[in-house]
Chains A and B, each alone.
Chain A
Amino acid sequence: SQELEQSPQSLIVQEGKNLTINCTSSKTLYGLYWYKQKYGEGLIFLMMLQKGGEEKSHEKITAKLDEKKQQSSLHITASQPSHAGIYLCGADKGRGSQGNLIFGKGTKLSVKP
């Protein structure tokens, strides 16, 4: 069965620093989603990637999907305390999946002021 591995598991950065979170799949990704979860709260949608080589940006966050569609990265530029939280990657379970997503374990990000 498909697994999503996220690295690192946790990350502490100084405010203003850049950081990258990775998500690697054991199988080809048909849809890759990045979410942010604050402690005890719901998942906030960040970005969706579907095509090999695709890259999307929103404010200071950039997500990429590699050409082989097995790895994605999330890059935050000039981190701020508001970026702190748990970042989850999720993927469609199959080509015809209609919202049945599998998730990674998450990367816990702390930003020191």
Chain B
Amino acid sequence: EPEVTQTPSHQVTQMGQEVILRCVPISNHLYFYWYRQILGQKVEFLVSFYNNEISEKSEIFDDQFSVERPDGSNFTLKIRSTKLEDSAMYFCASKPRVDSPLHFGNGTRLTVT
């Protein structure tokens, strides 16, 4: 069964550094998402992406965050200058149609020191 693939599984970075989290959504999917889960807290929506542009973003997704689909397969989340509070599990998700459920990847655990 096709899967959403995320790399790396764990990333450690120093405060103030830029980090790029990578995702390969399922190949025939058209809608792409990033969510995050801070340890012990709820899963939170960050951003949705469709037709090469952001369709919706949350208050968390400020100017430090950006997303890109650089080619036909990858979907990336960049954090320009990481803060301690960015430490979380980041999940990529995708779906084929607007009325479909989300399919999530296994996540990237980001640790900011």
Query: Which residues of A are interface residues toward B (Cβ below 8 A)?
Result: 33, 35, 40-45, 48, 88, 90, 93, 97-106
How many A-B contacts are there with CB distance less than 8 Å? 61
> In the complex the two chains form, is A33's CB within 8 Å of B101's CB?
yes
* Shortest Cβ distance from B56 into A: residue: A100
B residues less than 8 Å from A93 (CB atoms)? 45
> In the complex the two chains form, is B107's CB within 8 Å of A99's CB?
no
* Shortest Cβ distance from B4 into A: residue: A42
A residues less than 8 Å from B35 (CB atoms)? 101
CA distance A35 to B43 in the complex (A): 11
If over half of B's interface residues share one DSSP class (helix, strand or loop), that class is named, otherwise mixed; here it is strand
> In the complex the two chains form, is B91's CB within 8 Å of A43's CB?
yes
> In the complex the two chains form, is B102's CB within 8 Å of A33's CB?
yes
CA distance A88 to B45 in the complex (A): 14
Contact mask B30-73 → A, CB, 8 Å, 1/0? 01010100000111110010100001101000000000000000
> In the complex the two chains form, is A103's CB within 8 Å of B42's CB?
yes
B85-106 contacts to A (CB < 8 Å): 89, 91, 93, 95, 98, 101-106
A residues less than 8 Å from B104 (CB atoms)? 35, 42-45
In the complex, 8 of the A-B residue pairs with CB atoms within 8 angstroms, ordered by the A residue number, are A42-B91, A43-B91, A43-B93, A98-B31, A98-B48, A99-B31, A99-B95, A103-B44
- Residue from the list B4, B33, B106 in contact with A99, Cβ < 8 A: B33
